[in-house]
A and B are shown apart, each in its own frame.
Chain A
């Protein structure tokens, strides 16, 4: 009854990869205490992937340089936090300002909370987009950046203390029930955005990005298309913010500074503007490498490796440069190298597909064989 014949050669690696990832996750999940470090990195990377893909949707696919991500993440984080905290805890958390009575007894499951965050962010983006999206390039970036900072200041304001707990932020947010919950929600978000990008709306986004004159002549309403992209991108930024709050078990305004937007922008650019898989790769690389490079932050004394030398003149030699903060120096140098050699990001605007990986390995093998013959 199947209409399409399933090509085993093509589907097998995909299935295999999903199985492998699932196996690895279940291996980690089997003993979350001893694998907490790996779980932390994976969860953080997944959440940043959602944020990066959402930013890529507006910057990379629609060509609108919006930098409001941190602001929408902030809104999403606070909403998710406030509605998922156990009502019994709320009066303790809001001990200084007291909590608005209508918020006190709200308790939503995580999925519903994220959905509410996304919808509210979408509504706010719709209102903000009305004036802001008429601006172009740099001006749009400055306006959205300003919006992001206003949100941060607003949420830390005493006057809103009964809702946001002002500068104390919201804490004691219940965490993910398991690693799966976080990963599955992130994967779902990315799939939804990927489907949108591959639909006729996605084609309109790219048309507006590439050539607005031609796009308009094709009957694409420029403003509505930009607005749609901005609203959806902001909704998923809000969801990513909500996930981040759950991950950190708290939502504080100091998390959502401009630096967060830049960090996500870095993932997008590093991975490749206009590539979904690139953004995911960027999110994992940036999050991961900041952890892997941690050994550079530790002072290291040469003699400690050879105890018998520690009393001689050679022992006690401090390896130069290794000290707190050196990690970021190396990280920045690595970034410069990547941008110099791959100035369109690691993937460019193309997607990483199994066909391309297969083609690449085939080329490598052929190249090696060729060398062997010589």
Chain B
């Protein structure tokens, strides 16, 4: 279980995240939704140690993550699919997947097969340079790469960014499938409609603070959320 309490993040004197608390129970999908610049990505980046938190605590199974370096945090079975995919363009699909398992020293065949089962298209293109894939395929590769670390918690930053609606649907189906296989998912999305539909629990973040939270269904029905984020 991931517990974030009173998290505060500053960027050069500006408070990006003010006072955010939420919990991600095991084997659930939790989503953080909100507009651009609400501080969602900063929260994920501070959980994985890419950004320093100014205050608060981040506990993973009662272990404090603040103060640890990213490579130490990743060793605790938590990974991030970064915003904008960030695949390694000049390397093959297979090489990209292998980098995802960089910190592991056991056999990769099982996880490689699992990723290929989830994304058959990656198997077809395993020898292709990642930069030649389409946007949707690159997103699948980014998710597959994160899965290669065999994480207990996978965090995804805007997986639907810049993708065609049909591909977005496919990606969300896969997120559900990954969750059913037992991986906890922390999802950050601007596409609140899609995210809340698959989420067990959701938090709405505005100006660096949690304003509303509830189950996915509750939030979908919430009048304010509907007006602000679903355009209804």
Contact = CB atoms under 8 A, between A and B. Distances in A.
Interface string A202-229: 0110110011011111111100000000
B74 A200 contact: no
Contacts of B73: 219
Contacts of B149: 218-219
A330 to B, nearest CB: 34
Interface in A178-220: 200, 203-204, 206-207, 210-211, 213-220
B50 A216 contact: yes
B24 to A, nearest CB: 18
B147 to A, nearest CB: 12
B91 A213 contact: no
Contacts, number: 68
A263 interface: no
B69 interface: yes
Contacts of B70: 216-217, 219, 221
B102 A204 contact: yes
B87 interface: yes
Contacts of B79: 217-219
Nearest to B75: A219
Contacts of B69: 221
Interface in B35-88: 48, 50, 69-71, 73-75, 79-80, 82, 86-88
A220 B71 contact: yes
Contacts of A204: 99, 102
Given A217-B70, A219-B71, A219-B149, A349 B90 contact: yes
A215 B91 CA distance: 13
Contact of B86 (A200, A206, A213): A213
Interface in B88-142: 88-91, 95, 98-100, 102-103
Interface in A21-44: none
A213 B82 CA distance: 8
B28 interface: no
B88 A207 contact: yes
Contact of B74 (A203, A207, A219): A219
Contacts of B145: 218
Given A203-B95, A213-B50, A213-B82, A218 B102 contact: yes
A289 to B, nearest CB: 29
Interface string B144-157: 01000100000000
A252 B73 CA distance: 49
B99 A207 contact: yes
Given A207-B91, A210-B88, A219-B79, 7 more contacts: A200-B102, A206-B95, A211-B86, A214-B88, A217-B79, A219-B102, A221-B71
Interface of B: 48, 50, 69-71, 73-75, 79-80, 82, 86-91, 95, 98-100, 102-103, 145, 149
Interface of A: 200, 203-204, 206-207, 210-211, 213-221, 274, 349
12 contacts: A203-B98, A203-B102, A206-B88, A211-B87, A214-B88, A216-B50, A217-B70, A217-B74, A217-B79, A217-B80, A217-B82, A218-B145
